[in-house]
Amino acid sequence: MEKLKERWGISSNFQVVVILVVFAVTGSSAAKLAAPLTSLLGLRPENVSGWIYWPVRVLLIFPIYQVLLVAFGWLFGQFRFFWNFEKKMLKRLGLGFLFPE
Residue 94 is predicted with a pLDDT of 84
Domain membership of residue 60 as a residue range: 2-98
Rounded to whole angstroms, how far apart are CA atoms 101 and 96? 10
Residue 61 is predicted with a pLDDT of 92
Reported confidence tier of residue 25, pLDDT bands at 50, 70, 90: very high
User: Would the pLDDT of 27 be above 90?
Assistant: yes
Residue 97 is predicted with a pLDDT of 79
Name the domain count of the chain: 1
**Sign of the Cα pseudo-torsion (2, 82, 56, 29, in order):** positive
pTM for the full model? Answer: 0.84
79-92 and 50-75 helices, crossing angle to 10°? 140
Radius of gyration of the CA atoms of the chain, in A = 16
Residue 101 is predicted with a pLDDT of 65
Residue 92 is predicted with a pLDDT of 87
